[in-house]
Amino acid sequence: MDVKDFKPNGMQLGEFGQIVLVLQGGGALGSYQAGVYQALHEAGIEPDWIIGTSIGAINASLIAGNSRQNRLSRLREFWKKVEQSPVWDFDNLFPGFSGKLSYWSTVTSGIRGFFQPRLLAHAGDDFPLGADHAGYYSTAPLQRTLAEFVDFELMNAGKPRLTVGAAHVRSSEMHYFDSRKCRLGIEHIMASGALPPAFPAVRVDGELYWDGGILSNTPTEAVFDDLPRRNSLIFSVHLWNPSGDEPVTMSEVLNRHKDVQYSSRITSQIARQQQVHRLRHVINQLAARLPEAERNSSAVRELASYGCTTRMHVVRLLAPQLECETHTKDIDFTPSGIMQRWDAGYAHTRSVLARRPWLGDFDPLSGVILHEHMDELPAAAE
């Protein structure tokens, strides 16, 4: 089925429980997430819960912090604001040179509306910048952008629920700030994206936090650990490829290293959750086979409480690798890079919605069912 022929036909997904959108961290790669949301939005599917880390937290705040009719336009405005265009285009004469020029422009000048160089950071490794400023770049521009684009009163209204992940600097523990449990502000979003050593840690309630991606860049775990557990249809958006070829050049080594590091062992995490939830279903069915008198005893009730009947469908959407992609892809804020990834997220999600893999008969003991979608990059628009 051609993507452009897809019609949502008012899909009813409520029977699958809550709709959850999980967004990885990945800098410029996050434009893929915006394309995913566009496809969901046009299909009339709005998430009940959005969980994000780093750029995923920023995209999530733009969605949760705006009314439904303004969400897509705000995403477009943000990604337009952070575009980095080279002054000159030399690709006709020197293929790939414009990309390198854009990279060095980002490194030396930062990204408008996002971050700017902190010159004192180059005064020496032992120069006392202070805990709140120890980073090569200042993210003050991002703070102003979020204040402009996000309605924090609306974001805390709970529709959708918003959760952002950050790493506690002193304890090395992952912390999820949840709009169901506390009021979220600019500092929580900024903390989730404070990737060291580029960006300084952000203080929340007196404590410093770094980008959650350094501990867990794929925050699907927040859904699995949530209580009470609920039936869920989870769109888990991945920006880093957990699988790849053996690298044979140093450029390929650097690129593969980032993919391995930031894909966050998601394959093993999902496999583990499938085992755990299967055991919960087994416990539930075993308890049902006991005589009623035994089932009602306090000891058996306590043991049976470890069982569960919930089912979680995880739809994994994986961003494609662009041609000639390198380890600098996460700071590729060029208009073409942003557009290609956005279009890929849009096309992949429409294709998934057309197939509806969560429909059908599944093993009754399966509590977590993984549906993978890794299409090739769609053709560029003419």
Q: Which residues of the chain have pLDDT under 50?
A: 1-10, 93-94, 376-382
pLDDT of residue 150: 98
Tell me how far apart the alpha carbons of residues 285 and 304 are, in angstroms, rounded to a whole number.
Answer: 9
pLDDT of residue 6: 44
Give me 269's structure tokens. 């995490």
pLDDT of residue 234: 97
DSSP E strands: which ranges in the chain? 18-23, 49-53, 116-117, 137-138, 161-168, 174-178, 202-204, 207-211, 232-238, 312-318, 368-373
pLDDT of residue 12: 60
pTM of this structure: 0.91
SS (H, E, C) 328-374: CHHHCCCHHHHHHHHHHHHHHHHHHHHHCCCCCCCCCCCCEEEEEEC
pLDDT of residue 180: 95
pLDDT of residue 13: 67
pLDDT of residue 381: 39
pLDDT of residue 98: 59
